[in-house]
Structure 1
Amino acid sequence: MTVDDPGRSAHDLARYVLGLADDALVLSQRLCEWVTRAPTIEEDLALSNIALDLLGHARLLLGHAGVLDGTGRSEDDLAYGRTERRFRNTLLVELPGGDFAVTVVRQLAYAHYARLLYGALEQSTDPVLAAFAVRAVKEVEYHRMHATQWTVRLGRGTAESRRRMQAGLDLLWPYTAELFESDEPVRRLDEAGSAVAPGRLRAAWDEEVAAVLAAAGLTVPTPDWRATGGRSGLHTEEFGPMLAEFQSVHRQYPGGSW
């Protein structure tokens, strides 16, 4: 194969798109766990709507990945038919929500990243990916605003809310680095214009998030380790039970339709 081999390019792009899809799908599932458990009814609805947006992103991206890899697998095939090691999401999105502050911190990190990423992908030479980004960037802009407002509200709230937000930051910050990892296939796609190497977004993300945390009176953590492995199919111990619950109905009634 040569560097410009179209078969390899399509395979690499399918792998890249699948990672984006899995991030959205898994985070959607985690946010759904807050339904009926959020601090207020309004927030219950807000998190549900964000989860639905992410599910919509995942559906389109999964379907596109099935076309790109030549298998013709549907969004349901990829969502319900893969085992744990076949998922390519980052570890950040699969961690349990735990304290509401942890969920806010994760939304802050992911939404700012997704807003930058989808904004750049609007220029993708892949027409499906570019069209997806044009729509999705408008939705994640709301997600970004929602997370930013909650971060400032809790950081500037009570001593207890500030303590819990800082604890959430300290817990999750080592996992944010994985969002910006780029391997050689992704760098080739970036050079070809079909994908965006997320490492190029890190400086802008650091600046944006640091400004929010400063407004919230919170401290940007400086972790001495970084999580990795999710993009390669290596996941946390909490991921397996979550995936089993997500796929349970489909596995009980394979081929069922409603």
Structure 2
Amino acid sequence: MDAKTTYVLRLADTCLIHSQRLSEWSGHAPVLEEDLALSNIALDLLGQARALLTHAGQLEGAGRDEDQLAFLREERDYLNIVLVELPNAAASPSDGAGGRDFALTTLRNAALSIWLELLYERLQGSVDGELAGIAAKSLKEVRYHRQHASDWVVRLGDGTDESRARMQAALAVLWPYFNELFASDGVDGVGPAWKDLEPEWRARWGTLMQEATLSLPRDSAMQPRGIDGIHSEHMGHMLGTMQFLQRTYPGGVW
């Protein structure tokens, strides 16, 4: 697979898997308004993934459409960052939220939306006209996602002692996985190198952490490589759920 297709597929898969995780909150969010908000954000990301997967399929030239790329690949063929495949699990084993941690989801949403906003801003100037168009449309959506998630980060971080402790614990869990947002391996050209987003992302993230009165953990040397198809143990379980219908009824249509 050439670098251009790989670049688009990494972004497409990251949006797709992030959307899948967010959709797991449907019917389970802490309040009805947030249940609807998370579901709508998941749908926005799914729409972005569809457009990007379609474009990746055209670039690949192997005749695969968005559905085949989304549902009929093996685990090692997905190029999303590991951060988005982590489960909505509690940051603490003693948490009684049924395996769902709203603090973790909120922080991940904020981190990803800031990163996507920076990336889409730059992709509007891509030499690939189709990708530039997808970025322009998606940018309007992720700006809302960033605002929504950031408001929750501040509300919970600068809230009660318990909410702040939960946010701080979730940040400690997620922090090492943020490194992959700035992975550098020469797969660029059609868009900005991810490593070039790091200074601005860290500046915006630092401002958000100050507003939320949260402390940044110590930097980690861990370097996840989901973008190379090396995933966590959680990815296979997620794909089993995502791909069940397509693999049970091959070629099925509505």
* Cα deviation, residue 108, structure 1: 1.1
Q: Report the alpha carbon displacement of residue 185 of structure 1 after superposing the two structures with TM.
A: 3.2
Determine which of 234, 241, 246 is the counterpart of 1:238.
234
One-letter identity of the residue aligned with 2:211: A
Matched with 2:140 is 138
Offset from partner CA, 1:171-230 (integer Å, 9 cap, x none)? 0010001011121232xx1xxxx2110111100000001101100110111233323110
SS of residue paired to 1:29:
helix
Q: TM-score, normalised by structure 1?
A: 0.92
Q: Does 1:42 align with 2:38?
A: no
Q: Please give the alpha-carbon distance, in whole angstroms, between the structure 2 residues aligned to 1:185 and 1:55.
A: 23
Match for residue 96 of structure 2?
none
Question: Secondary structure of 1:124's match?
Answer: coil
CA distance in structure 1 between the partners assigned to 2:73 and 2:232 by the alignment? 16
Distance between the aligned counterparts of 2:58 and 2:3, measured in 1? 13
Question: Structure 1 residue 224 and structure 2 residue 226: aligned?
Answer: no
Aligned partners of 1:92 and 1:220: how far apart in 2? 17
5+ residue gaps, structure 1, are: 1-7
Structure 2 letter corresponding to 1:118: Y
How many pairs were matched up?
A: 243
For the residues of structure 1 that align with 2:183 and 2:62, how far apart are their CA atoms?
A: 27
* Matched AA of 1:232: D
Q: In the TM superposition, what are the counterparts of 1:2-151 in structure 2 within 5 Å?
A: 11-98=2-89, 99-151=101-153
Which residue in 2 is equivalent to 1:250? 246
Match of 1:174 among 173, 176, 179: 176
Q: CA RMSD in A?
A: 1.0
By how many angstroms is 1:156 displaced? 1.2
Distance in 1 between residues matched to 2:161 and 2:204, nearest whole Å? 24
- Is the Cα–Cα contact under 8 Å of residues 155 and 212 in structure 2 kept in the other structure? yes
**Does structure 1 retain, via aligned residues, the 8 Å contact 2:103–2:166?**
yes
| Other structure's SS at 1:184 match | coil
Q: Structure 1: how far apart are the matches of 2:139 and 2:63?
A: 27
Question: 1:20 Cα shift?
Answer: 0.2
Residue matched to 2:211: 215
**Matching residue's letter, 2:40:** N
- 2:23 maps to a residue whose letter is C
DSSP-derived class of the 1:111 partner: helix
Q: Give yes or no for contact 2:19–2:45 (8 Å, CA) kept in 1.
A: yes
For 2:245 and 2:83, the matched residues in 1 are separated by 25
CA distance in 1, matches of 2:218, 2:64: 42
TM normalised by structure 2 equals 0.94
% same residue:
50
